[in-house]
């Protein structure tokens, strides 16, 4: 049974609190485009964030322009009663209303570090394109695993180089890649490239694509 809920634009304070308390990364994604605050029975339970993405070339693989493609970068929710798939479906509709230019939404499910297979995307009929293999590094910085791009953004080169030499590090996780197409013709096109949905324990049974 679905409980009463509402979806509203998220303030920065809501985004910061939810990302730091309800998401395993404890970080706020860059390039945020549209962010939604989720409430159940008038109680704030977190945020869902759509961004331009950390990859500036996110639209190129689809032969589109930047802004035509966005990434679902955070589902930062605490304990809740309704299905996450409900909130994804509703926020996708809201996203299209406020950003009608968007044609495709991309999202990734972490394989190595979180063992996610992307069940919430499967429940909302996203198209699965296989495993995206990454080649970059994460560093354990300020109490959390931090992407190499964040370390490279530090202005002080001496500090940056010292951190890379001394911080614990690990390879960034490979990820399942899913897309949601608003346009029916686009959906039909990419359905021809789709692969069977993965299950737990079958993370690398499909072909891989390369991402930076």
In terms of residues, how long is the chain?
212
pLDDT in tens, 131-154: 876 666 667 766 665 666 667 767
Question: CA-based diameter of the chain, in Å?
Answer: 56
User: Domain locations in the chain?
Assistant: 1-102
pLDDT for the residue numbered 200: 62
What's the token pair of residue 151? Answer: 């370390």
pLDDT for the residue numbered 101: 95
pTM: 0.77
pLDDT in tens, 84-113: 999 999 999 999 999 999 999 999 887 754
pLDDT for the residue numbered 187: 96
What's the token pair of residue 41? Answer: 């029975």
pLDDT in tens, 23-65: 988 888 888 899 999 999 999 999 999 998 766 778 988 999 9
């Amino acid at each position: 049974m679905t409980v009463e809920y509402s979806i509203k634009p998220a303030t920065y304070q809501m985004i910061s609190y939810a990302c730091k308390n309800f998401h395993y990364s404890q970080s706020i994604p860059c390039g945020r485009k549209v962010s939604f605050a989720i409430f159940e029975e008038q109680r704030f339970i977190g945020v869902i964030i759509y961004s331009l993405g950390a990859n500036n070339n996110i639209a190129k693989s689809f032969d589109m322009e930047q802004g035509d493609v966005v990434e679902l970068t955070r589902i930062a929710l605490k304990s809740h009663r309704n299905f996450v798939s409900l909130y994804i479906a509703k926020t996708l509709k809201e996203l299209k209303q406020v950003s009608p230019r968007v044609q495709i939404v991309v999202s990734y499910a972490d394989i190595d570090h979180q063992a996610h297979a992307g069940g919430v995307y499967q429940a909302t009929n996203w198209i699965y394109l296989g495993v995206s293999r990454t080649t970059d590094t994460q560093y354990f910085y300020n109490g959390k695993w931090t992407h190499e791009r964040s370390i490279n953004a530090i202005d002080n080169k001496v500090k940056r180089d010292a951190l890379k030499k001394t911080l614990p590090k690990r390879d960034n996780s490979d990820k399942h890649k899913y897309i949601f197409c608003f346009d029916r013709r686009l959906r039909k096109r990419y359905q021809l490239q789709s692969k069977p949905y993965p299950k737990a324990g079958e993370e690398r049974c499909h072909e891989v694509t390369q991402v930076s």
